[in-house]
Homo-oligomer: A and B are copies of this chain.
Amino acid sequence: MIERKGSILTVREDIKVFDCTIRDGGLVNNFHFTDDFVKAQYETCVAAGIDYMEIGKNNSPSIMSEEEFGPWNFCKEEDIRRIVGNNDTNMKIAVMSDIGRTVNEELLPAEESVVDMIRIATYIHQIPAAIELVEEAHAKGYETTINIMAISKSFDDELTEVLETVAKSSVDVIYIADSFGSFYPEQINKLTEKYLTIAQAHGKQIGIHAHNNMQLAYANTIEALTYGTSFLDVTISGLGRGAGNCPMELLIGFLKNPKYKLMPVLKFIEEFIIPLEKELDWGYSIPYMLTGQLNEHPRAAMKARDEKDTNYRDFYRNLLAE
């Protein structure tokens, strides 16, 4: 059985708190955040001691519509710099690449960009394309992660093969992504052991990206970190698609490193999240709980929430009948 790393009272220097408020939150509003919002979010992260901030996706405008999606779905260099300047801070900037929606050649060399890290979101069947992009981004000078999605639907031996393949690439961090918010802490424990064993054998670190369908995003993040996960994804107030993510303000309460500060996060919540909650819908609710319990994509739940449909029994019956 896997062992605890450090204790509940100590600082673990390998821990990186990774903010993805704009990127995962962008899935709620098609990335239509105002510059004021994104700038305040950036300044909050810097003040709170956050290690990385993911400012959006670098999807290609040749593939996705700039009329439908706001700037943070594309993360053009000039848009990012409008917010972060040269980012003369200790915090690194990341963007996410969706396999199939990016054009590798559009990626600038790292020395011409304010971006430090490319995070690659991939399904298992896209792994060869993901590794191609890892190598391209690595050669251009970026840190890289691979976030393998929907693993709760994969076979265990398949996942092992994928992890072995990914670990042999130039990637720096391999992420456990609980795409459907369907994992329980003891499953996260086993996944942590599996990912960590393979990653460490190749000198890599691992990360966790949790969803809150069953009110377990924070608990699963703590479980993963306790057993050796280094990169911890959070969003302010859990802002993110569907049931949302592990809230930054909760994780900062748990971590013992004094560099992490809660007060700036509370300020952002007061000034930006409270108004946003009147406009956008995210976070735990019964439909998300049901898709999580059944290990299904939250699609149906997002629809029910959009339509303010509270016929939970019908919703559950339909899910069971699928």
Which A residues fall within an 8 A CB radius of B? 4, 8, 184-187, 212, 214-220, 222-223, 226, 247, 249-250, 253-254, 262-263, 266-267, 269-270, 274, 286, 289, 293, 310-313, 316
- Give Cα distance in the complex from A310 to B273, angstroms: 11
B-chain residues with CB within 8 Å of residue A293 when the two chains form the complex = 253
- A312's partner among B4, B250, B270 (CB-CB below 8 A) is B270
A262–B320 alpha-carbon span in the complex (Å): 12
Residue of B nearest to A214 (CB): B250
Contacts A185-B185, A250-B289 given; does A270 touch B316 at CB 8 Å: no
Q: What's the least CB distance linking A193 to chain B, in Å? A: 15
Q: Is the interface of A mostly helix, strand, loop or mixed?
A: helix
Residues of B within 8 A of A311 (CB): 270
Q: Is the CB of B215 within 8 A of A289?
A: no
9 closest Cβ pairs, A-B complex: A219-B219, A253-B293, A266-B312, A266-B313, A215-B218, A215-B215, A270-B312, A274-B310, A216-B219
- Choose among B4, B185, B222 the residue that contacts A222 (Cβ–Cβ < 8 A): B185
Measured CB to CB, the nearest residue on chain B to A218 is B215
